[in-house]
Structure 1
Amino acid sequence: MENLTCIPLQQSMACSKSAKNMVDVFSNVPDTVIDKILEKLPIRMAAQTSVLSKQWERSWLSLIRLSFDSDFHEEHKNEDGSCNWQESSRIISRILLRHNGLVHHFNLYVPDHAIGDQMNLNQWISFLSKNGVQTIRINNSDHAMYITSCIFRCSELVYLELANFSLNPPPTYFHGFTKLKHLELISINFSEQNIFCSLVEKCRMLVTLKLVECTGMDHVVIDTPRLETLILIGYFESLVFRNNVVSLTSISLDLTTMPEQITVETFDSINLLASSCKLESIKFDGYSCQFLAAGSGMRSRPPSVTFNHLDELYLGGLNLSEFAEFRYLLSMIKSCPNIKKLDISILPIPWEIKYDQPILELDYNYKLDHLYEVNIEGIIGSSEELRLVIYLLAISTVLKNVFFKSVNCHTESQLEMYYVLLESQRASSKARVLFL
């Protein structure tokens, strides 16, 4: 019987030649192509390519993008299905220890029940600060821990995103992130009130600032001359813009809790933006409109302002049965003569007739010559909603569509609104009213 374990010499030589050709194929791949391939692979698969050739090993050990995301931790679990954070931490430390060259992008996901003293976060960020890191994303999913002060040594940072950490005052040697353009802080606890303001004012190149559910920053001061986009979600008692906020084009405020004390400071500061910058997009959600309407009501005669460059206006969390909020809504519409898109979100609460409230006079001589789309969400069929839409139809000369999305509005109420609007005067012959 033929010995199947024996390979003829000619066949053996052919296999050897084929293997050699395969090695040559991997060895001749350009470095730029290897880098692109490795960037697309999960960290585990990228590491495994080091066995292909010395060239692949060198590329792996000098990879400028390192991502230890949730998928990475899925590969290291205990028998009960929980993350083996000690093993994950050991692997991350070993990869960084063997790394040769710069690390421009670092992404880290900290899973549930990770133990802080096993994480070596201080060592990792210290390593990054010495290797030209430009982007850091760290998402601590389970609990707040203090971020290491080594983060302030990362002088080349352009993009910084942190979630679920506590932050102490910067060290005395910190003079700002001079290259930082994007700062995103999610559920960050500032241990002292002035930390946020002192941090942001030292980031003079900042273009985008996003703050979500942060604490310890009740009084927010924005003083960054290059800032273009501001997103603020959470609780604050006041928001102030300094005079040099000249580049701002988009602002989004979502006040999640109504402050107990109402002041005119934030209302006045928002109005100053009309003359200090060229805003193109405004979004006020949550309690923001109620807060600003209350501030407006503290002025005997609210100042007349005009946002000439505004294209999109979103006003949410509105209760149109409240005179102050309805007045604020109309004042904002009149302050934005060039808007192209208007979104209004109404609180889905039962409407009550308030006989003691004054009736607001509407200026039908005012025209919106650029508004082509209106979206209204949460309608319940109240007379104030109907009055608002009739007004918008009458003053919008190029309007195409008014979209309604109801919550507790019965079919009969929708039909009644539709018939009333069908007979109402329209400044645009192309205007359509559509119920979604």
Structure 2
Amino acid sequence: MACSKSFQRSEDFFSNVLDIVCDRILEHLPICIAAQTSVLSKQWRRAWLSLKKLNFDADFWGAVVRRSDWQKCSCIISSVLFHHNGPVHDFHLYIPRNTNWDGRNLSQWICFLSKNGVQKIVITNHYAVVGFVDISSYIFRCSELVYLELINGFYLNSPPTDFTGFPMLKHLLLENIMFRNQNNFITLIGSCKMLVTLKLVDWLGMDHVVIDAPSLQTLILEGDFQSLAFRNVRSLESISLHLNTIREKLQTAKVVNAVNLLASSCQLQSMEFNGLLCKFLAGVGIMNSTSVTFKHLHKLCLSNLNLNDFSVFRYLLSVIDCCPYIKTLDISLISASKNQINPGENVGQRGFDFNYNYKLHHLREVNIKSIMGSTAELKFVEYLFAISVVLENVFFKAGEPGVESELKISKALMALPRASPKARLFSKRNWFGADDEIWL
């Protein structure tokens, strides 16, 4: 009798939980566990079918079925969607490796989402060994989208003729996507007037990249292109450009104009170029003139630089000369001992005179990764110390592991004169871990 009363009180408790509390609990549970709450009471029986966020992630695959059985998982996803009550604001789909996925049912799912107020779609495909899969044209009917992320192995077709854009889309991330038509991407972002973040990585089917987005604040481009153009990017604050290969058809003038336009058409605060792009720009002589100045730039990141390539070395100095207001400088280096400049050779004797009259009056932090201690690298750091009058912190990580290499680099850097008496040197054995402080 006591057990019966206890059970009744427990049932009453679960039945009387407010709907909003129920929703909050369910939204923090994996979907498989959320489904199991249906046995708690009548109120909970169908509560999980009103979840606004549906996350079919790696945990879903592990909990429901063997990863290779896509057909069974597909039936479960379809059943959840088609029995769902109310709007679906957030939809995540993870497709693992070693599945037999063929893209079926995806069109039906996106069609369902387009009719149920979806605001965020994230589809990550790790099973991209059988070629690209079409993203249904229903994606263009998701008029309330705010966030769209498609990763690995999808075709993006042309929008339908009646497509007027995603009026609320703010974040667009596309990786390893193939465009059916050169103009697909231009049409897509040109119709997204609220777009704030754009990340485009390793795309196919588009050689001429045109960025036209008046509200865009953050841009990440990593891939191959023949030409690059910026139109109406007045709101751009952060840009990261990574070039994977230097093609023979790379249109030098258009790329140079695009980079120069960044200095005059927007108020960039953060800029990152990778080593291959720097090598290309160094070869065409960009930024050798002081007429190009990034007046609003606070952070400059240059990755995978080989300073033993003298054209890259000179380019680096030219870029710094064009960024007089930077507060943070991040540089990662690549070096091979066979390419190192002879230790007795003076970089200045190779045709470049350092401009010690130029000063950086705002630079306070410098991060240098993978420094090997070649003459070119030390000459650059020496020049940087000499022109940075308010420098406070210099973080470095040696290019070779081991205490001996670290001490060697530390000794070489500490021996360099500096303009700022506040400058301190920090060694980072683990870039994301604790620092070993070494005073200059």
Q: What TM-score, normalized to structure 2? A: 0.88
Indicate the SS of the match to 1:333. Answer: helix
The alpha-carbon distance between structure 1 residues 15 and 188, as it changes in their structure 2 partners (threshold 3 A), is same
Aligned twin of 2:396: 404
Confirm or deny: 8 A CA contact 2:290 2:321 kept in the other structure.
Answer: no
Q: Does 1:126 align with 2:114?
A: no
Give distance in 2, aligned partners of 1:120 and 1:364.
Answer: 65
Please state if 1:280 is matched with 2:265: no
8 Å contact 1:381–1:413 — kept in the other structure? no
Aligned to 1:217: 206
Name the CA shift for 1:118/1:189 in 2 (closer, same or farther; >3 Å). closer
* Larger of the two Rg values belongs to structure: 1
Give the Cα separation in 1 of the matches to 2:401 and 2:379. 16
User: Equivalent of 2:353, from 345, 361, 364?
Assistant: 361
In structure 1, the partner of 2:136 is: 148
Q: Does 1:192 align with 2:181?
A: yes
Q: 1:258 to 1:249 in 2, by over 3 A?
A: same
Whether the 8 Å contact between 1:218 and 1:235 is mirrored in structure 2 is yes
By how many angstroms is 1:291 displaced? 2.0
Indicate the residue corresponding to 2:122 in structure 1: 137
Cα–Cα, structure 1 residues 391 and 169, in superposed 2: closer, same or farther, change >3 Å? same
Query: Is 2:419 the partner of 1:427?
Result: yes
How far apart in 2 are the matches of 1:404 and 1:140?
A: 37
Counterpart in 1 of 2:335? 348
Contact 1:386–1:417, Cα closer than 8 Å, also in 2: no
For residues 219 and 158 of structure 1, what CA distance do their matches in structure 2 show? 26
- Comparing 52-61 with 154-163, greater Cα deviation is found at 52-61
The structure 2 residue matched to 1:94, chosen from 66, 79, 83, is 79
The aligned runs of 1:27-176 (5 Å cut-off) are 27-78=15-66, 82-116=67-101, 119-143=104-128, 144-164=132-152, 165-176=154-165
The residue type equivalent to 1:72 in the other structure is: F
Q: 1:303 to 1:175 in 2, by over 3 A?
A: farther
Q: Which amino acid aligns with 1:136?
A: I
Structure 2 CA distance for partners of 1:391 and 1:356, relative to 1, 3 Å: closer
Query: Displacement, 1:208?
Result: 0.3
CA contact (8 A) 1:86 1:118 kept: no
Q: How many aligned residue pairs are there?
A: 418
Q: Please list every run of 5 or more consecutive structure 1 residues that lacks an aligned counterpart in the other structure.
A: 1-11
| Aligned pair partner of 1:371 in 344, 360, 363 | 363
SS in 1 for 2:320: helix
Task: Mark the CA change 1:435 to 1:63 in structure 2 (over 3 Å): closer, same or farther.
Answer: closer
Match of 1:307 among 294, 310, 314: 294
Where in structure 2 are the equivalents of 1:229-244 lying within 5 Å?
229-242=218-231, 244=232
SS of equivalent to 2:247: coil
Go from structure 1 to structure 2 and tell me whether the alpha carbon gap of 1:181 and 1:218 turns closer, same or farther (over 3 Å shift).
same
SS at match of 1:389: helix
Say what the alpha-carbon RMSD is for the aligned residues: 2.4
The equivalent residue for 1:318 is 305
Residues of 2 paired with 1:425 and 1:118: CA distance?
62
Tell me what 1:9 maps to.
none
Gap change, CA 1:319 and 1:395, over 3 Å in 2: same
Map 1:10-29 → 2, pairs under 5 A: 12=1, 14-29=2-17
Amino acid at match of 1:131: N
Equivalent residue runs for 1:283-302 within 5 Å? 283-296=272-285, 302=289
Q: Which runs of 4+ in 1 moved over 6 A?
A: 354-357, 409-417
Specify every segment of 5 or more residues in structure 2 that has no aligned partner in the other structure, as ranges.
429-440
Partner of residue 233, structure 2: 245
Q: Which amino acid counterpart does residue 427 of structure 1 have in structure 2? A: A
Shift of 1:421: 4.7
- Is 1:382 the counterpart of 2:374? The answer is yes
Q: 1:351 to 1:117 in 2, by over 3 A?
A: closer
Look up the match of 1:207.
196
**Aligned twin of 2:436:** none
Give the stretch that moved more between structures: 176-185 or 398-407.
398-407
Instruction: Provide the secondary structure at the position in 1 that maps to 2:51.
Output: coil
Q: CA deviation at 1:381?
A: 2.1
For residues 288 and 39 of structure 1, what CA distance do their matches in structure 2 show?
Answer: 44
Partner in structure 2 of residue 339 of structure 1: 326
Name the residue aligned to 2:431. none
